[in-house]
Amino acid sequence: MKTIKIKTPAKINLVLEILGRRADGFHEIRSIMQTVSLFDYLNITVEEGSEKITLSGNSSHIPYDENNIVFKAVKLFLEKTGIKNQSIEVYIEKNIPVAAGLAGGSSDAAGTLRGLNDLYGKPLSWEELHSLAAKLGSDVNFCLEGGTCLTTSRGEILEPMPTPELKIILLKPKNLFISAKEAYQRYDRLEEKPKPGNAEFYNDLEKAIIPAYPEIENMKNLLFELGCKNALMSGSGPTVFGIYENDVDISKLSKEYEVFKVHSIKSDNCGVSA
């Protein structure tokens, strides 16, 4: 039996520009993604025996079966490497909110690939891990790499960038969940798409999401009132992040929100790490 613990960071989108819908149904994007100091943790255990993938965890908001992206990552890794007769257990400690625009699931998938590759003596190269990541989801490649990257195509093409030193507040309504599928469907229904942005931070999905969920605009205003110099919805939402310089008091924020004080983190050759 062998075990490894993997730390998987959340991400925010400092910029998210949607360039159009592709023939394969995905959207062409240009995004600056940034990992931040909010982490899930994976405990991965492998041993020889009957072929079985078992997931468990501390969250009631995710499935623990073949519908979980972690399960899909395990299966894809085993298929690619040809490793057989293994019992694999993954315990997912969720701290990153679910369906929140923070890539928690994608980061867990990336961490699963990294953890399994380490446990089995690195049968796959870094490039091969990225190839698997691209099959799992649009953010998984970035989560594997971490730090700060300009991401293009559907998000799987990465160009590393210098990491800015940012102090960040994450604010998410506890009972609001928005899937990326819903967000992009709402965007596709917009009669007038956002014009190319020239601000330091912007997100094209806001125009599609805020009319349906006005509380997101209220959250942005709340962050400005607290003293943040910028506030933006991350990814498909509903999480909003605020960037601040002088310390801000979050103690009086309503209990209807999940609130995290985090900071930008650099890549140490991988976003997910043991």
Q: Which residues have a catalytic role annotated?
A: 11, 139
Q: Could you list the beta-strand ranges (E) of 83-216.
A: 86-93, 148-152, 157-160, 167-173, 202-203
User: What radius of gyration do the chain's Cα atoms show?
Assistant: 19
Residue 264: DSSP 8-state: B
Cross-strand pairs, 167: 244, 263
124 φ, ψ (degrees, to nearest 5) = -110, 140
Q: Measuring CA to CA, which residue among 102, 108, 110 is closest to residue 134?
A: 110
How far is the C-alpha of 263 from the C-alpha of 274, rounded, in Å?
20
**Residue 228, Cβ density class (10 Å: 0-12 exposed, 13-18 middle, ≥19 buried):** buried
DSSP-derived 3-state class of residue 238:
coil
Strands (DSSP E) contained in 63-212 are: 86-93, 148-152, 157-160, 167-173, 202-203
Strands 2-21 and 148-152: unpaired
**Rounded to the nearest 5°, which phi and psi values hold at 131?**
-65, -40
